[in-house]
Structure 1
Amino acid sequence: MATIPLTARGAERLQAELHRLKHVERPAVINAIAEARAQGDLSENAEYDAARERQGFIEGRISELDGTLSNAQIIDPSTIDADGRAVFGSTVEIEDLESGEKVTYQIVGDVEADIRANLISVSSPVARALIGKYEGDVVQVQAPSGIREFEIVSIKYL
């Protein structure tokens, strides 16, 4: 399996989720299965079925997180010498040249991308357009509504 790039903060979040699943969620679902089993006939026991389904989800997510973290290449943006360029892990403020709207994104790995938290995947069209560019550069991004132009306002390595 190929290495999976993660920021240090993203790796910490995944490790915290893995810890919660192993030490809180897993024991809780095991107790729920035991309680449902104690009610008798399992063939018509909705609580048992729901608990088993939840257990399958938890075990699958634990396995997924273990695999991701074992293949992770953790990159700390604050230690990167990028010579002012936008790179993986950098936080980039851009301005839409048409609307004047400014937005700040951090370029992260596919696994930790979350647009609601302004974390965009390194493989997204916006991130691909930003990678390697400097403050003041204008980039073009192919959007569903057509080509949009953004100016890079600032680049930080947090």
Structure 2
Amino acid sequence: MASYVTKVGLDKMKAELEQLETIERPKITAQIAEARDKGDLSENAEYDAAKEAQGMLEMKISKLKNLIVNGKVIDETQLDTSKVSILTTVRLKNNTTKGEQKFTLVPDNESDLKLGKISVNTPIAKGLLGKVVGDNAEILLPNGNKLSFEVLEIYLG
């Protein structure tokens, strides 16, 4: 199944994969060899911990490779900013507090709330997708609360 990524996100994943394969994997292999040299493996906690770390690392490497192979890079030049979609930034007015908020809708693996980047799969993003300037979005959160936003502006950036 294809997952959407930005060019920046894909480059980050490739750099992380290279780091894991060329630096972290050899470190763990060395730890396993060192622990193995200490004797009886049936009672060797260092060996067990190193083997577990190796399993976790290999799982992470496999997951990253899968994301890279199946990643579909989003062409930002083809995005329609007349409505809320992935990679658009949307400026909102909270209809309850009258405060303004701004979110950029991004693929799952690129979300960062501190930077205002939310996954397109969050309840807020799902409630905003397809809306146009002037629309109101009523969003039901997992905790049962409702949010109401007015879309003030949609742009790339």
Q: Is the 8 A contact 1:129 1:140 kept in 2?
A: yes
**Distance between the aligned counterparts of 1:140 and 1:157, measured in 2?**
23
Deviation at 1:117, TM superposition (A): 4.3
Name the aligned partner's letter for residue 102 of structure 2: T
Percent pairwise identity = 36
Which aligned pairs between 1:123-134 and structure 2 lie closer than 5 A?
Answer: 123-134=121-132
Query: Could you state the TM-score of these two structures normalised by the residue count of structure 2?
Result: 0.87
Q: Is the 8 A contact 1:76 1:89 kept in 2?
A: no
Structure 1: 5+ residue runs without aligned partners? none
**Distance between the aligned counterparts of 2:60 and 2:98, measured in 1?**
41
Partner residue of 2:46? 47
Which aligned pairs between 1:133-152 and structure 2 lie closer than 5 A?
Answer: 133-143=131-141, 144-152=143-151
Equivalent residue in structure 2 for 1:96, among 88, 94, 99: 94
Identify if the C-alpha distance between structure 1 residues 46 and 67 changes in structure 2 by more than 3 Å, giving closer, same or farther.
same
Structure 2: 5+ residue runs without aligned partners? none
Secondary structure, counterpart of 2:19 in structure 1:
helix
Q: Is the 8 A contact 1:80 1:157 kept in 2?
A: no
**Distance between the aligned counterparts of 1:109 and 1:62, measured in 2?**
19
- How many residues are matched? 156
Partner residue of 1:63? 62
Cα-to-partner distance string for 1:64-98 (whole Å, 9 max, x where unaligned): 11111111111143x13404321111122223221
Deviation larger for 8-17 or 112-121: 112-121
Cα-to-partner distance string for 1:7-46 (whole Å, 9 max, x where unaligned): 2222222222212111111111111111111212212211
Deviation at 1:131, TM superposition (A): 1.4
Q: Is the 8 A contact 2:81 2:156 kept in 1?
A: no
**Distance between the aligned counterparts of 1:16 and 1:95, measured in 2?**
38
Deviation at 1:48, TM superposition (A): 1.0
Secondary structure, counterpart of 1:92 in structure 2:
strand
Name the aligned partner's letter for residue 120 of structure 1: I
Identify if the C-alpha distance between structure 1 residues 129 and 21 changes in structure 2 by more than 3 Å, giving closer, same or farther.
same
Output the aligned Cα RMSD: 1.9
Identify if the C-alpha distance between structure 1 residues 142 and 91 changes in structure 2 by more than 3 Å, giving closer, same or farther.
same
Which aligned pairs between 1:13-52 and structure 2 lie closer than 5 A?
Answer: 13-52=12-51
